[in-house]
Amino acid sequence: MSFLRGIIDSFSSILNEETKNDTNVSSSSSSSSGSMNGIDGVPVSNERVAYKLKGYFDLGKEEIAKGVRAEEWGLHDDALLHYRNAQRIMNEASSTPSPSYISSSEKEKVRSYREKISKWQNQVSERLQALGKRTGVGVSENNKRTVASPSSASVSSTASRYRRTPSQKTPVPRGGIAMARNTKDAAAASPKPVKESGSVHDDKLVEMINTTIVDRSPSVQWDDVAGLDGAKQALLEMVILPAKRRDLFTGLRRPARGLLLFGPPGNGKTMLAKAVASESQATFFNVSASSLTSKWVGEAEKLVKTLFQVAISRQPSVIFMDEIDSIMSTRSISENEASRRLKSEFLIQFDGVTSNPDDLVIVIGATNKPQELDDAVLRRLVKRIYVPLPDSKVRTLLFKTKLKSQPHSLSGSDIDKIVRETEGYSGSDLQALCEEAAMMPIRELGADILTIQANKVRPLRYDDFRKSMAVIRPSLSKSKWEELERWNSEFGSN
Ligand code: ATP
Ligand code: MG
């Protein structure tokens, strides 16, 4: 952000400097245009070069200003287009020939313009290069577009992407909510306008939320999640069914608005939330709490506010906050001001959506450290669902699912034996164990690996798993597990 500020500031200083100079040029020019013969009796035609350069400057200045604004909003393609226009205009300016005879004062003006043109050219090509790297577009594309002045087609097409209201001095990017709605949402309630939109900043955030936080293609299906029947039932009653049948879930059946998925790492909390996204007809906002604090530095509080407003406008909505402990942990004296404000904003917004019986915005938090959560946050996440380590039934299911696509010679009793021996393994530990076991037959091949036919690789056997268990150990210590179990019996809903 501060980097961008620097660029904007440096452009602004050039633009200001130029405005100052323009005034000088126009006043001296107007005095020259008053004379038929021009200054010092030099014919006017020779003086035109200063006017011409000024014209180029005005056009270039306009394009740079648009480019800077587009960059501020994160519209990199638009910024590229404007900087390219500016570059082209400046190229033309610098190739304008100086007349053979020119008065000394005009000569000075022309020299000063040329100097500034070259300064602008350098700055613009630096921005083009930086943006080109970020967007993957080569700077050389530059000369393919036919844009030389703001009246040309491509500038006006860019301009048409902005709307102006009489009270707005700066254009505002179109889009926001309507732009990112998907067909699924069309069936849902019509959107309410986002409160407080209209300022450039809010519209930019709305657009970012719609493009980067709304999850449209969750890859996990309900059946991919092995076991966890209690958690699935709670999510069905609280999110999936109320979103599909809002008419049935009113009054006493009104679903709880806050839910916490907690439990040891690697047992399907994130998977469950993603499955909810693909099963429900709700708009799914996937917010990673850690990215909220890293990516949105300084803007996190505003983002949370806007996020809830967008969620209300696109309800039924689910706001999923993964790793919620990283921003909603117990307040401490050492806590910085920004994170305190972020937390307060979250609580205010959360209370806002729960107080209105007509709003269906559900917040799901996930954490493996529930004991670190702030009490105020915990109080609002009324339903707390424990996602435990897989029991023997779930481990059996997991092994059978994972072995489906792998040739093996394991009997039912072999699988039972592995299941007994993997007590204390998490879902992700089991995944790692299967991957390690699957490598065993490959490692035996030695140099044959390059020539052997895929179907000739020997099937997996019990011994592969036994050996792999020596390498892949359960990742959760007993004390951690016991701590979570205790927390569940004290605060959990199941
Ligand atoms: P963390 O607390 O570290 O965020 P998590 O509980 O969110 O962990 P997930 O990311 O959902 O864990 O799961 C990690 C991986 O473990 C999954 O990608 C999947 O391969 C496997 N896994 C865990 N639980 C299950 C399950 N119930 N069914 C199928 N696969 C599972
Ligand atoms: Mg997770």
The full DSSP string for 127-170 is HHHHHHHHHT--GGGGGGS---STTSHHHHHHHTTEE--TT-SS
Mean pLDDT, the chain, rounded, equals 74
Q: How far apart are CA 320 and CA 213, in angstroms?
A: 10
Residue 160 has pLDDT above 50, yes or no: no
Distance 373 CA to ligand 2 centre (A): 16
Residue 11 has pLDDT above 60, yes or no: no
The finding on whether 321 has its CB within 6 A of some atom of ligand 1 is no
The finding on whether 227 has its CB within 6 A of some atom of ligand 1 is yes
Q: How far apart are CA 222 and CA 218, in angstroms?
A: 11
Distance 249 CA to ligand 2 centre (A): 29
Partnered with residue 365 across adjacent β-strands are 260, 321
Atom of ligand 1 at shortest distance to CA of 226?
28
Atom of ligand 1 at shortest distance to CA of 322?
4
Which tens digits make up the pLDDT trace of 192-250?
A: 444 444 444 567 778 778 777 777 666 788 888 989 998 899 889 888 888 888 888 88
The finding on whether 270 has its CB within 6 A of some atom of ligand 1 is yes
Atom of ligand 1 at shortest distance to CA of 272?
11
The finding on whether 225 has its CB within 6 A of some atom of ligand 1 is yes
Residue 76 has pLDDT above 70, yes or no: yes
Q: How far apart are CA 225 and CA 268, in angstroms?
A: 7
Q: How far apart are CA 117 and CA 334, in angstroms?
A: 51
Partnered with residue 362 across adjacent β-strands are 318
Atom of ligand 1 at shortest distance to CA of 271?
11
Q: How far apart are CA 384 and CA 369, in angstroms?
A: 13
CA 73 from centroid of its chain's CA atoms: 13
- Which of 428, 429, 481 should be mutated for ligand 1, with most atoms under 8 A from CB? 428
Which residue lies with its CA nearest to atom 2 of ligand 1?
A: 265
Mean local confidence (pLDDT), 325-352: 78
Q: What angle do the packed helices 462-471 and 412-421 form, to 10 degrees?
A: 10
SS3 260: strand
pLDDT of the residue at 484? 92
Residue 147 has pLDDT above 50, yes or no: no
| DSSP conformational letter for 408 | B
The finding on whether 176 has its CB within 6 A of some atom of ligand 1 is no
Listing DSSP states for 94-123 in one string gives HTSPPPSS--HHHHHHHHHHHHHHHHHHHH
Q: How far apart are CA 202 and CA 73, in angstroms?
A: 10
Residue 462's nearest CA partner among 401, 420, 432, 417 is: 417
In the block, residue with structure tokens 């900087």: 83
Which tens digits make up the pLDDT trace of 371-422?
A: 999 888 899 999 999 999 999 999 999 999 888 888 999 999 999 999 999 9
The finding on whether 293 has its CB within 6 A of some atom of ligand 1 is no
Residues 6+ apart with CB under 8 A from 338: 298, 300, 301
The finding on whether 315 has its CB within 6 A of some atom of ligand 1 is no
The finding on whether 228 has its CB within 6 A of some atom of ligand 1 is yes
Per the model's pLDDT, the better-predicted residue between 342 and 72 turns out to be 342
Give phi and psi for 255, each to the nearest 5. -70, 155
| DSSP conformational letter for 199 | B
In the block, residue with structure tokens 């959107």: 191
The finding on whether 60 has its CB within 6 A of some atom of ligand 1 is no
Distance 269 CA to ligand 2 centre (A): 5
Atom of ligand 1 at shortest distance to CA of 401?
29
Q: How far apart are CA 131 and CA 284, in angstroms?
A: 31
Which residue lies with its CA nearest to atom 12 of ligand 1?
A: 266
Q: How far apart are CA 416 and CA 109, in angstroms?
A: 89
pLDDT of the residue at 44? 42
Distance 49 CA to ligand 2 centre (A): 65
The finding on whether 288 has its CB within 6 A of some atom of ligand 1 is no
Residue 336 has pLDDT above 50, yes or no: yes
Angstrom CA distances, 102 to 39, 125, 200, 207, stand at: 10, 31, 47, 53
- Which of 267, 320, 392, 475 should be mutated for ligand 1, with most atoms under 8 A from CB? 267
Q: How far apart are CA 329 and CA 315, in angstroms?
A: 28
Q: How far apart are CA 346 and CA 319, in angstroms?
A: 12
Which residue lies with its CA nearest to atom 14 of ligand 1?
A: 266
pLDDT of the residue at 12? 52
Distance 70 CA to ligand 2 centre (A): 35
Residues 6+ apart with CB under 8 A from 46: 38, 99, 101, 102, 103, 106
- Residue 290 near residue 323 (C-beta atoms within 8 A): yes
pLDDT of the residue at 144? 35
SS3 247: coil
Residue 121 has pLDDT above 90, yes or no: no
Distance 290 CA to ligand 2 centre (A): 12
pTM: 0.61
- Residue 390 near residue 430 (C-beta atoms within 8 A): yes
pLDDT of the residue at 465? 95
Residues 6+ apart with CB under 8 A from 7: 68, 71, 127
- Which of 219, 222, 224, 270 should be mutated for ligand 1, with most atoms under 8 A from CB? 270
pLDDT of the residue at 369? 93
- Residue 104 near residue 135 (C-beta atoms within 8 A): no
Atom of ligand 1 at shortest distance to CA of 227?
27
Angstrom CA distances, 257 to 359, 367, 455, stand at: 10, 17, 52
Tokens, residue 268: 């399907």
The finding on whether 368 has its CB within 6 A of some atom of ligand 1 is yes
| DSSP conformational letter for 267 | S
Give phi and psi for 252, each to the nearest 5. -65, -20
- Residue 92 near residue 56 (C-beta atoms within 8 A): yes
Indicate the length of the chain as a whole number: 494
- Residue 75 near residue 172 (C-beta atoms within 8 A): no
The finding on whether 240 has its CB within 6 A of some atom of ligand 1 is no
> Around ion ligand 2, which residues have CB less than 5 A away?
269-270
